């Protein structure tokens, strides 16, 4: 493929890679799986890149491809090489900013989100990313009303997981 196109893609992805990391964070729980999903999303983005016309933002476009890869295309590897909890390693560096109790609570919240199903995680992800319901509904292919109803149910479900 065209190397200028490749360069433009790599540059944009490198600058906006955090959004892919965030998807990987919700859908994987080990460092290996995180990298594996990141790689698959990168490949899918690259395959779709020639059709990306730039009439929407790179990030808006990448959100959709990334989420679609995570919930539809990605085949989890059956072997789990590394089972180290990735989330805790992400938090370690920022430890001094939190007091212990709050950090524990945040950790529990992440664990609760990990228990949700793939579609619920997609909704949570877009909610955390401040997406409006119109965009959430359009990304998943459901109505806006149903997206709102589901979001409220997820909040209830999380509450139940946290306070059984």
Residues in contact with another protein by CB under 8 A are: 6, 9-11, 13-14, 17-18, 21-22, 25, 34, 38-40, 42-44, 46-48, 51, 61, 64-65, 67-69, 71-77, 90-91, 93-94, 97, 105-106, 109-110, 112-113, 117-119, 122, 124, 127-128, 130, 138-143, 146-147, 150, 154-155, 158-159, 162
Nearer to another protein by C-beta: 72 or 164?
Answer: 72
Nearer to another protein by C-beta: 35 or 83?
Answer: 35
CB of 99 to another protein, least distance (A): 13
> Reduced to 3 states, what is the DSSP secondary structure of residue 148?
helix
CB of 112 to another protein, least distance (A): 7
Select from 22, 32, 42, 46 the least CA-distant residue to 130.
22
Tokens matching residue 148? 């709102």
CB of 141 to another protein, least distance (A): 3
Nearer to another protein by C-beta: 54 or 141?
Answer: 141
Rounded Cα distance, 67 and 62, in Å: 8
On whether the CB atoms of residues 123 and 26 are closer than 8 A, the answer is: no
Q: Where are the alpha helices (DSSP H) in 28-143?
A: 31-48, 58-68, 86-92, 100-114, 118-128, 133-140
CB of 140 to another protein, least distance (A): 5
Nearer to another protein by C-beta: 83 or 142?
Answer: 142
Residue where the block lists tokens 């997206």: 147
> Reduced to 3 states, what is the DSSP secondary structure of residue 76?
coil
CB of 1 to another protein, least distance (A): 9
Select from 90, 81, 2 the least CA-distant residue to 36.
81
* Distance from the Cα of residue 64 to its chain's centroid: 10
Nearer to another protein by C-beta: 59 or 127?
Answer: 127
């Amino acid at each position: 493929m065209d190397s200028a196109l490749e360069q433009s893609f790599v540059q944009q992805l490198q600058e906006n890679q955090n959004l892919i990391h965030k998807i990987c964070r919700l859908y994987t729980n080990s460092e290996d799986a995180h990298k594996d999903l990141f790689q698959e999303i990168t490949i899918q983005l690259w395959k779709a890149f020639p059709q990306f016309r730039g009439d929407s933002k790179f990030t808006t476009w990448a959100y959709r491809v990334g989420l679609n890869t995570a919930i539809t295309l990605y085949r989890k590897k059956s072997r789990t090489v590394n089972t180290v909890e990735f989330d805790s390693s992400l938090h370690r560096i920022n430890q001094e900013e939190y007091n212990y109790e709050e950090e524990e609570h945040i950790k529990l919240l992440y664990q609760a989100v990990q228990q949700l199903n793939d579609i619920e995680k997609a909704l949570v992800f877009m909610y955390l990313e401040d997406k409006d319901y119109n965009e959430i509904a359009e990304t998943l292919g459901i109505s806006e009303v149903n997206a709102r109803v589901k979001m409220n149910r997820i909040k209830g479900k999380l509450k139940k997981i946290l306070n059984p």
